[in-house]
Chains A and B, each alone.
Chain A
Amino acid sequence: MSDFSEQLTKPVTEDEQVETSVSSGTGMHFPWLQKQLETVVTGGKKKKDFAQTTSACLEFIQEALLRHQWQRAAEYMHSYLQTLEDSDSYKRQTAPEVIWKLGSEILFYHPKSNVETFNTFADRMKNIGVLNYLKISLQHALYLLHHGMFEDADRNLSQAETWRYGEKSSSQEVLINLVQAYKGLLQYYTWSKKKMELSEFDEDDYAYTSKSQNMLSQSCKTSVNICALIKVPGVWDPFVKSYVEMLEFYGDQDGARNVLTNYAYDEKFPSNPNAHIYLYDFLKREKAPRAKLISVLKILHEIVPSHKLMLEFHMLLRKSEKEEHRKLGLGVLFGVLDFAGCTKNKTAWRYLAKYLKLMLMESHTVWVQEEWNSRKNWWPAFHFSSFWAKTDWKEDTALAFEKAYVAGILLGKGCRYFRYILKQDHQILKKKIKRMKKSVKKYSIVNPGV
């Protein structure tokens, strides 16, 4: 250590000089500069520890929630509640919503929590920051419904419904509508239960009349409640469905039709397949003309080409006289089978096999070619591989048969799928296969005329 010390033991005499040269110096001095530099060093205004610890607290709560540590979450929640008193007014205003979301989550899952605790919490939170009143009321009602507390939920919604606070902002108006609609939904529930009971009574019974009277008044209330909401653009499936059911029950076909048409066709509403399905079902019940049904399903076809109603759509198109419709009928079938979830749909394959034959018989080869062109690159591997031939044959010979027919027509008799099925010497299907072979020879688009 001696060498090292030698150099170090020298008394540090110039020490002070060096120090001063750091802090003072020649030249100008800008008093404001230092302040500027200080703020730059700390990255602008320093965040207060209150803000830091509460945001750390929030992170701990979120982590605990993710790991389902409800106890731990509740522990931190105890501290996080002080954000309600944040001196930053913006943060103070946003705090109730955050606390409601975290707190209701904790109370929903916490083993020591019960409906009573949740109710107290919800009631308290409703009154902190008026803007959350409706949202919390609604979620509170949903919680009660979840726990089967039908009447309490209803009472809650009624309270929320009558709540007013100064000028309602537009967002609040939607919430009021939503609250009313949920109330309507509850009324529908009662109504529908009564309807069930009613079906057990005799029509001439006294009880029947009073019951049906009762139901009528119920439905009136419901329609008032739901009506306002479904005029606002949005997805309101359960509300629309129950509303229409009631309208239909009391014979208001026009009203129901209006509601459904509006729900499906109003451009302000988001695209919603169910809207078209409801309308289609209604029109079908009403025995509407085929053209009308086709026009509804055409839109559904554009939104959900794989929908199970598409097969019905195909049947409608097939029966139509219009060329255009008949052509679309082919496209619809191809469209359905494009989807992986529909590859084993025997009906679809049967329809396609039949329809292809029909089309080719009517010499609409161009139509078939048109549909096939965009698929010939991938359908063989997607549907007609030898693997599928084997599995299909094993699982469902009828399906394999239909598919083989289609494969034969589209890919020619040399196609692997077709050949595989052909090779299977099946006793019962023997005749059928023979017929298929003949038919394929005749109609296959691969070797026309040969």
Chain B
Amino acid sequence: MDLEEAKEFKERCSQCAAVSWGLTDEGKYYCTSCHNVTEKSKEVINSSVIPNTKINTINRGLRKKRKHEKGWDWYVCEGFQYILYHQAEALKNLGVGSELKDEVLHSFWKRYLQKSKQAYCKNPVNTSGRKTKVLKDNLHCSDWASEPELLSGGDTDFALESGAEFQSDAQIPKDFPITKASQSASVCSGSLDGVEYSLRKEKGIVKMTVPRTLAFCYLSLLWQRETITLSDLLRFVEEDHIPYINAFERFPEEMKLYGRDKGIFAVESWPDYEEIYKNMIEVATFLDLPRFPEITEDCYLHPNILCMKYLMEVNLPDEMHGLTCQVVKMTGIGEVDFLTFDPIAKMKKTVKYDVQAVAVIVVVLKLLFLLDDNLEWSYSDLAETYNEEHKEDKPQFGFRKWYQVMKKTFDEKKQKWEEARAKYSWKSGKPLYHSHIDKSVAYKRREMVVNLQKQFSALVDSTPVVEKKGPSSFQFNWTEEDINRPCFHEHTLQGLLVKKGQSLKTKNSLYWLSTQKFCKSYCKHVTTYEESNFSLSYQFILNIFSFLLRIKTSILHEEVSLIEKKLFKKKYSESKKNSSRSKKIRRH
């Protein structure tokens, strides 16, 4: 008991309010008048010079805080696991069956961890020959691992399925390359292996990235043959229905992100169709997935069904569906083998279902109207005259009227879309910083921005202008009643077809090919799209359709060319022989 040393402690006792302290043998303060022993020890008080506060609470607070500040020890792959988990949850909320999350995505992910040697294997990355020493620090691992149900479910059956030997404690990444990294990493990243992860460049390993989480989601959707196409998925991401940008916000508080984690988890772009498509094939190949469930005629992804959907979406007559089905049949793109994704097969490519369906519609429009900025308008004149004279009949479809309606609606939609994008708020409430030195700066900046934003939102009309839209597969809504947005679904194509014997034949017998010669270089693109070389109607149609799918017009153009290639196979081989350059092909 040293009363001298205890003099520095000037707080009132919490029980008797006296200021008379002694030190116990363990270095703790006790009240000499009521013998109440405090929890704080001497060292702590010396280091924290905060007057007029209850040391008691400070002490506790500090300890908690310190733990908080340091956060858990976690691995990059856990971060991705969280993102996948939340994405799967979001998909479930969109109405996707729960098997997707609990079975498909779950096993894909486990397979990934195994293939990339991060878990579920004998020698996880880099640990061979080295003794892992973090086991003790890693105790909390069990905490989080039990949290996402994603993993709690099928551990055992997966083990059986994959036949891999498991360590008894087969929780995810327990044994990780945390040798030297554990000390240095904590300086430059919140995760244990952030630094190492961003440097890792192993051959044959597909590294996880944020865009690849969507590849996983899409693969699972495809496996389940869900009614969500890739373009739908990406649109939902853009509309914030599926976590993607700032997905790390959903990590538990204790998973601290900074430094290198920023490069791994922060994204400043929306996913790009082509990129995710490529990633998806890469991931599927890497996972060595078997042939996917077959896409048959009754699947949503079958071109016949998708064509119907897109015909409705772009307000074209239902009668066109017969023609699209015919094109699908002739080109063979409705075949099960063609449609079903088989990562192990040689071709290593899959069908862009949505783009392909839209391309079929473009081809049908070309067959009907030629789209040479001439014929479609003269047919429209005929249709308008006919409709004037036969007001009782079902109206004939006129391209001009459709164009006018679509142009207006589409321009409005695009304008709104651009405005919404310009207003998109990218920054997370949890700012990411490079190191602890930047932390306060980053947080201060965030606070400043929030304050400034408050100030400017006070100047905006209080009535909220943008009501958040619920997710929907349809972006347009056409109804008979709306005069500004008349519906063409019921219009007929009679004026565009002529009877020939028993069958109907399109009145227009000309056609031009979107691509004369395909590019055969090693770059992946098959053709290029130079807008100015094409008719205005064709440009317009490509523009609205590619906006619908949020893809580049060149991609749709390419898909149209590929369908034409299949449709006019003979013409292509002929033109190769004669090397004729005629742009128009006469059909007899």
Contacts and interface: CB of A to CB of B under 8 A. Distances in A.
Contacts of A23: 524
Nearest to A88: B268
B425 interface: yes
A53 B422 contact: yes
Contact of B452 (A29, A33, A87, A124): A124
A12 B269 contact: no
A20 B566 contact: no
A77 B520 CA distance: 48
B332 A15 contact: yes
Interface in B329-346: 329-332, 346
Interface in A72-131: 74-79, 81-82, 84-85, 87, 99, 103, 106-107, 110, 112-113, 117, 120-121, 124, 127-128
Interface in A25-73: 25, 29-30, 33-34, 37-38, 41, 46, 48-51, 53-54, 56-57, 59-60, 70-71
Contact of A49 (B269, B523, B570): B269
B63 interface: no
Contacts of B457: 74, 78
A423 interface: no
Contact of A74 (B346, B456, B526, B588): B456
Given A8-B567, A18-B565, A81 B421 contact: no
B567 A2 contact: no
A366 B387 CA distance: 90
B455 interface: yes
Interface stretch (B35-43, B65-73, B502-510): B502-510
A22 interface: yes
Contacts of A74: 456-457, 459-460
B505 A3 contact: yes
A5 B326 contact: yes
Given A8-B567, A21-B520, A41 B506 contact: no
A127 to B, nearest CB: 8
A117 B457 CA distance: 12
B445 interface: yes
Interface residues of B, number: 63
A1 B500 contact: yes
Contacts of A11: 332
Contacts of B419: 60
B274 to A, nearest CB: 10
A41 B274 CA distance: 13
B569 A34 contact: no
B505 A81 contact: no
B422 A79 contact: yes
Contact of A117 (B270, B424, B455, B520): B455
A10 interface: yes
A7 B520 CA distance: 25
Interface centre among B266, B452, B458, B497 (most CB of A within 10 A): B452
A319 B509 CA distance: 98
B460 A71 contact: yes
B587 A3 contact: yes
B547 interface: no
A120 B419 CA distance: 28
Contacts of B566: 12, 15
Interface string B454-477: 011111110001000000000000
A4 interface: yes
B501 interface: yes
B130 interface: no
B418 interface: yes
Interface string B519-549: 1101111100000000000000000000000
Given A19-B347, A50-B268, A78-B457, A7 B587 contact: yes
Nearest to B528: A41
Nearest to B521: A37
A74 B456 CA distance: 6
**Most A CB atoms within 10 A — which of B266, B329, B455, B565?**
B455
Contacts of A48: 268-269
Contact of A81 (B266, B270, B456, B503): B456
Nearest to B454: A78
B452 A9 contact: no
B449 A82 contact: yes
A252 B566 CA distance: 97
A77 B460 CA distance: 10
Contact of A10 (B431, B446, B570, B587): B570
Contacts of A205: none
B166 interface: no
A248 B423 CA distance: 58
Contact of B522 (A33, A41, A81): A33
Given A50-B268, A74-B456, A34 B427 contact: no
Contacts of A167: none
Classify chain A: how many residues form its interface, as a range.
35 or more
B18 interface: no
B459 A71 contact: yes
B135 interface: no
A12 B565 CA distance: 10
B286 to A, nearest CB: 17
Interface string B435-462: 0000000100110110111011111110
A113 B427 contact: no
A33 B524 CA distance: 11
A5 B455 contact: no
A77 B456 contact: yes
A82 B522 contact: no
B418 A75 contact: no
A120 B270 CA distance: 35
Nearest to A51: B268
A106 B520 CA distance: 55
B451 A4 contact: no
Contacts of A204: none
A302 interface: no
Contact of A57 (B266, B422, B446): B422
Contacts of A38: 523
A323 interface: no
Centre residue among B449, B497, B565, B588 by max chain A CB count within 10 A: B449
Given A56-B422, A60-B422, A110 B459 contact: yes
A16 B329 CA distance: 17
B518 interface: yes
A323 B341 CA distance: 103
Given A12-B566, A15-B566, A48-B268, A79 B449 contact: no
A4 B587 CA distance: 6
Interface string B338-364: 000000001100000000000000000
A8 B572 CA distance: 12
B505 A85 contact: no
Contacts of A5: 326, 330
Contact of A9 (B330, B427, B509): B330
Question: Which interface residue of A1, A34, A107 has the most chain B CB atoms within 10 A?
Answer: A1
A4 B367 CA distance: 10
Contacts of A50: 268-269, 426
Contacts of B587: 3-4, 7
B449 A113 contact: no
B449 A87 contact: no
Interface in B552-573: 565-570
A1 B460 contact: no
A121 B451 CA distance: 9
A18 B568 CA distance: 13
A87 B332 CA distance: 49
19 contacts: A1-B326, A8-B331, A9-B329, A12-B331, A16-B347, A22-B519, A48-B268, A49-B269, A50-B269, A53-B424, A70-B459, A77-B456, A78-B460, A82-B427, A84-B445, A84-B448, A85-B449, A110-B459, A124-B448
Given A4-B509, A8-B568, A79-B422, 10 more contacts: A5-B326, A7-B568, A9-B329, A25-B520, A34-B523, A41-B523, A74-B457, A81-B452, A81-B456, A84-B452
Instruction: Give me the 5 closest cross-chain CB pairs, A-B, nearest first.
Output: A8-B330, A50-B268, A74-B459, A49-B269, A57-B422
